Amino acid sequence: MLKLMTAGESHGVGYIVILEGLPSGLPLSAEVVNRELVRRQRGFGSGARMKIERDRAEIVGGVMEGLTTGAPLGIWIANRNHEQWKGKEIPPMTVPRPGHADLTAALKYGYNDLRPALERASARETVARVAAGAVCRHLLAQFGIRIGGYVRSIGKVTARTENTPLEERASIAEGNDLRCPDPEALEAMRTEVKDAMQARDTVGGVIEAFAVGLPVGVGSHAHWEKRLDARIAAAMLSIPSAKGVEIGEAFANSRRRGTQAHDPILINEDGSLTRPTNRAGGIEGGISNGEPILVRVALKPIATTLSPQQSADLLTGKPTKTQYERSDFCHVPRAVPVVEAMLAFVLADALLDALGEGTMDALLARFAQMPRPHLRAARVDGFAHKFWG
C-alpha cells in the first residue's frame, strides 16, 4: 500500500522524500517530522557533521489545510552544508574503504571517482527515512500503535533490561546520549566508545525496537512477500551498516528445544486467550499475534576508521592505505530513530494492506473490526463452528 522513495546526495542540495498511499484526513504538519529529525541528530560518538546539520523538513505536497489529501506526500529537507561545498574543487577519491560501498558501486557503475558512490551510500540518506518514518509513526499513533527503541549493546557492553517494561526502556534511553535503557550499563558503554576513539577506530552494536498495540492479523502467512517478519527483516537490512536481524528470541530459540522455544496459548476463565511469554516477538506465521513486535538489529562498526586500513589505489593500481573522511566513531545511538522509522514504515504499510484505502474515518472504523490481541470466547466458538462444528 505504501511506497517510499528517496533521492538526494550527502553534499547535494538536499533530500526529497515521497510517500505514496497515505489515507486522506490525517492531520499532519512539518513539526511532526522535525521532532524525529532532531532525535536523529543526537548521540554520543557522532562526528562533526551532526553539529552542522540542524535538519528541517518542508512539506511540499499531499497536505492541504493541515490534513493529508490522499495524494503522494512530498517532503523536502535541505542540506545545510551544501553552500560550503558549492564551487569547491574536490579532489577525486580513488582509494576504496573496505566495508563501504566505494569499491562495489564504482565497479558496478563505472565511476572513475568514488565520490558518487559515497555521496549516495552515505547514511545522510537516513534523514529521508526518518522523515517518512515520522509520518508513519504518526499514522500508527492514530490507531494506538506505539513504537520505541534503544541501544541493546555497544561493542562488548550489553544493557540489562529484563525487569524494565518496554516503553519504560525507551523513555530511559531517550534521556541519555547513548540511548542506553540500563543506567548501570551507561558509563560502560561510554567507555567502550571512548576506547574505540582513542584507538582511532570505530565500534558497532545492537539496537532493539518494539511496537505495542498492533492488533492480530497484520501480515499474512499466505504469500512470502506478505510475511510480516520477512518485511521487517528486509527493511532493517536496508539500513546502511545493518548486517543482522533477529525477531523475538530467534537466536536463543535456535538453541532451545521446541517445547521451550514457543509461547504457550492459555485460555483464561473469561475465555480470553493470553500468551505468558513473547519469544516469537509478536509474529507467528508471518502474522502479528497481538503481542509486542520485538526486533533486534546488529550494526557493524563504521568502515571509515582514523587508523588506515589496507586497500588499493584504483588510479595507480598500487597497494595503499585508506584515507580518513569526516565520520562517526559509533553511530549506534544515532541509528535508533532510523531503526524505529523503518519499523514504523513496514507496520504502517502492512496495516494499510489490512485496512485498505480511503479516509482516516473509514480506516478507523475498519480497524475497530480487526481481531483484538486477546481473542474472546465467542471468537474461539466461532472458529470451532467453522472448522470443526
Ligand X SMILES: Cc1cc2nc3c(=O)[nH]c(=O)nc-3n(C[C@H](O)[C@H](O)[C@H](O)COP(=O)(O)O)c2cc1C
Residues that bind ligand X (CB under 6 A): 47, 100-101, 121-123, 126, 239-241, 302-304, 327-328, 331, 334-335, 338
Look at residue 335 and give its three-state secondary structure.
Answer: helix
Q: How far is the CB of 89 from ligand X (least distance, A)?
A: 23
Nearer to ligand X, 46 or 278 (CB): 46
CA 163 to chain centroid: 24
* Range 255-258, long-range pairs (CB < 8 A, 24+ positions): none
Nearer to ligand X, 42 or 379 (CB): 42
Q: How far is the CB of 234 from ligand X (least distance, A)?
A: 13
Distance (Å, rounded) from C-alpha 239 to C-alpha 331?
A: 12
Nearer to ligand X, 47 or 72 (CB): 47
Look at residue 72 and give its three-state secondary structure.
Answer: coil
Grid coordinates representing 121 are: 551510500
Nearer to ligand X, 28 or 123 (CB): 123
Residue whose entry in the numeric block shows the C-alpha cell 547513548: 178
Q: How far is the CB of 281 from ligand X (least distance, A)?
A: 22
- What is the b/e burial string over 150-182, where b = at least 16 CB atoms within 10 angstroms of the residue's CB? bbbbbbebbbebeebebeebbebbbebebbbbb
Residue 190 identity (one-letter amino acid): R
Nearer to ligand X, 143 or 329 (CB): 329
- Helix H or strand E encompassing 109: helix 102-109
Nearer to ligand X, 119 or 353 (CB): 119
Nearer to ligand X, 206 or 261 (CB): 206
Q: How far is the CB of 235 from ligand X (least distance, A)?
A: 13
Sign of CA dihedral 384, 386, 387, 389: positive
**Beta carbons of 204 and 332 less than 8 angstroms apart:** yes
Nearer to ligand X, 237 or 315 (CB): 237
* Range 52-61, long-range pairs (CB < 8 A, 24+ positions): 52/80, 52/81, 53/80, 53/81, 53/127, 54/80, 55/80, 55/127, 56/30, 57/30, 57/33, 57/131, 58/30, 59/28, 59/29, 59/30, 59/33
Distance (Å, rounded) from C-alpha 304 to C-alpha 201?
A: 8
What's the burial of 148, exposed, middle or buried (CB within 10 Å: 0-12/13-18/19+)? buried
Nearer to ligand X, 123 or 295 (CB): 123
